[in-house]
Chain A
Amino acid sequence: MLKITNLSKTYDNSKKAVDNVTLEIPKGEIFAFIGHNGAGKTTTIKCVVGLLDFEEGEILIDGLSIKEDPIACKKKIAYIPDNPDIYESLTGIQYLNFIADIYQIPKDSRNVEIAKYAKTFEITSNLGDLISSYSHGMKQKLCIISALIRHPKLLILDEPFVGLDPKAAFSVKEIMKQMCDEGSSVFFSTHVLEVAEKLCNRVAIIKNGAIVANGAMEEVKGDKSLEDVFLELEKDA
């Protein structure tokens, strides 16, 4: 579903933020992307979703290049950033309708999906309020709903559990599993290693812009915990 080959990205002639990264996420799998702060996770994700231009490498989404055919690629993706900066002057329902219009979601489907996910994340009664009145967690929930109503083939999340209440975090994990069962893929970055360990089929660890471990979860961690593996790799600096 997602194939990143030799991706490199440099900001303003400084050192490489992402250095020769190669990753592959097959259909129906949940992929965890872990690394220390500033390791290059968000930069990689932003290149994948077309937010950042990159100098070297190739990114294919379901066989299509994000550079050559960005619109077709973006139709298959739903991205949720680490910080839910969304239009504060819109109400929740206006924002969802805007996203639904952009992704050309038919009327019947959008009515059903918005109602379903708003109920799951318990924000139905807040959808008429201005987003400026929302808490961080509520904005995060709205972002997640706006992603799920599109039925993406590839769901990309940057630190999705920050600010979510335990019930919402549980719902997100369940939805991720369900999406993968239906053939979609999930690629997310996280610092919560226990969640990654329990939830994901595959994992990649990035350090100073380069991939230092990559593969099936069981292969990468062996008989240790993911936390032990991560800390050992960090120590090797």
Chain B
Amino acid sequence: MDWNAHMRAAFVRASRPPDDEVIEELAQHARATFEAARADGSSEDEALRAVAALIERWQAEAAALHHRSRRPPTIEPPATAAASPFAGVIQDLRYAARLARRQPRHTLLTIVTMALGIGATTALFVVVYGVLWKPLPWPDAGRIVVLKETRGGNPPRFGAFTNAAYHAWRERPGTLEDLAAWSQRIVTISGGTAPERVRVTTATASLFKVLGARPLIGNLFEERDETTPVIVLSESLWRQRFGADPAAIGKGLQVDGRAHTIVGVLPDALGYPDRQSRAIVPFAVPAAAGNSLSVFNAIAVMRPGVSAAQAAAEGTARGRFAPDSGLTAEAVFGSRGPIEVTAVPLGDALTADVRLPLIVLLTAVGLLLVTATANVVSLQLARANTRGREMAIRAALGAGTARMTRQLLAESLLLCLAGGLLGVALTFLLQRSMTSLLPADFPRVDDLAINAAVIGFALVLTMGTGIACGLLPALHLRKGSLVVTLAGEGSAPAGGMHAGAARTRMAIMTAQVAIACVLLVGASLLGRSFLALLHADRGFDPESVLSARLTMPESLYPSAERRFALIEQILSRLRAMPGVADASFTSELPLTRGGSTAAFRMPSRNAGQEVVTVQASPRIVSAGYFSTIQMRTLAGRTFSDADTETAERVVVVNQSFARRYLGDAPVGAKIPIAGYATRDDASPSTTVIGVLDDVRYVSAQNPGSQPELFYSHRQMDRRLPVQTVTLLVRASDDPASVAGQIQSVIREADPQLVADVVLPLDQRLLTTLARPRLYSVLLGGFAGLAFLTAIIGLFGLLTYSVSQRSRELALRAALGAGRNDLLRLVLRQGLTVTAAGLAAGLLASIWLTGFLTTQLYGVAPHDAVTFAAVPCLLLVVGTLACVMPARRAASVDPVRILRGA
């Protein structure tokens, strides 16, 4: 029964019905009467009759029931002394919950702010923990080191370790238990179901010992199996192709057309180097002999108690006994200097590239959390100010400081806990898409998970922010004097706020602006660097060019003649297709790592030097290659139809090659044939017919380009000496429609062949830019949020301060201050804070952007434009945030305010 409504209805006919408060009071009396009657055993009818009689008498006295309460309703604070400390906490929390319900806007703002801050920080922590700190899955991971070899200080052009050093060390390893060689390639797997391209690891049998890996079923291959065609499947490939059937062991599988026997299945968790590797096939490290050099990656497990430095020293010493590989070493390392070996702990090596960016991002998101917390603290301080009287009275009634601090802590912890819960929920949502948001080549993406460590982190964060938000207002409470607070009610102090709280809020605000400034500077540097990478002049035009990697396995195409014929056939069909402007191929795509390299000697063009050792990357291309990707010809010409197998043998070089080795007149120069042997004639030299602009290997870490040589595939005597080529097609129409046609042309030519994903070349380039893009987008997002938080904070601070100073402002207006004077007064307060924050932020930025140096391309860490633009932006937006409160201050009506006070 709604007693209030019942009572209101009873007085509806009265000439002057009582006020709402009287109605409510009478309604409660009526309800109590009814309940008492029922409790005494009266029937409901009897009880209602008693109430009706009561109401009847009130109706008679309606004229006397007029009254207006002079006090606003209050909430009874919890008792000062609780029976037990635990009961007190519960009481505090219940009071806090009721308070939160009564101020829904404040509560919502706090919870959402904290949820965003804690959610973003926790989400990033998931990545940082999974990638950098989560223990590696292999049993002896702490003792595993990644080995790298340099010669004369130079790393190899591709790979990391040579067979020469490998064998020299593995014969007598003192510091190592074992070492293993591995590399990765993409192969076509067929047999049973449709052929598919998968990434596999080729590795020595010792890899399993180094990793301490045990098979899920079957066996892992042994050293004696290294030359036999066996394969160890990853758990995921086994499930996918064999439905997790244990009978798969012993079955056959075609790898690039060659039959392999499945010997075992490796658990996904132990996959090396990551779970993207779908199988492991054996690799026998060739013996070091003569001029040949095999380059691969190497890892080792050290004996217990051995340090990485000791292992590296031993590797270097053993490497010195490795046989000299002559010009090949020159080609691979660009030096024949002494071997140096370095050993880096596996965890560090896996994540070396991403460690710094991740730490930078974690710091950035931490700063974002700080600004979010600062806003909440600022809000709490403002509230503590208005609640000063309540607190003072409670202190007067005997509540100790500790008691009231506990109360304030309970209030802020409750809000932050709600925010934290929402934040963790947000992280759960984000985590599903996180793996797909990260670049495909990001290390340890499979290790991202929300686990106890993450939840613990979120909890610590929540409690930390909760305590920070409650403790600061409590500290001010301590400082406040009872008499001052009680006496001060109704008249705001001159500064707009109680001086202590005001100073703290100004300091917080300054720090917020500083943090926003630092993050904006960092984000705009990374953003500009990314744009510079995107629009960098690479020496060619990737737009509308589709590319497809095609491998012609030796089992299907054992002869170079058959490969040549296949490529010719595919190219002529592609060129005939509608929507195709041009089609060509290259043995190696520009801007991809690895590839072939060659070294040879030739007469030097430089004075004082007779012979120069050339190190260059040879490429085999079809005649149309240069026009397909629109490389620029700087001098001479590129290949034409006249450059056939019977014509004079010619070569096109890039600018780096011409500059380094050919001097002023590159066109017409004779240089020896390098890399790919062609006709066995008596004069193994070619004539340089043209010089091309460099294709630049644009990245923050690796600027510059390599000397390159281009040979026409037509002059290879109808033999194609490589098994993998990249087809390039420039589309005249929509590239997407051409993509499918490329696949079908390849299928028609040979149904057993599968081309790797056909991607427009500019998109393939974008995948190489995935990391810089991720970093700049993330930092940009954090900076944007921090910026928004700071502006909201500034706006809130000024609005509050204006409302608190209304009396002072009205007095000033009454004493003759004009509208502009008042505007200026408030603007000055806001802009002082902004300017101080900017100064601190810029100073911090100068120091902090130094850490970004390795991530920046085409923009200096102390870029003047950025350092000028960010403060301008903050100043403009900061001023806008001040304008509204300032206008409100300027439009005060002194009469109304002074009279109302």
A and B bound? Answer: no
User: Which residues of A approach B to under 8 Å, CB–CB?
Assistant: none
User: Which residues of B approach A to under 8 Å, CB–CB?
Assistant: none
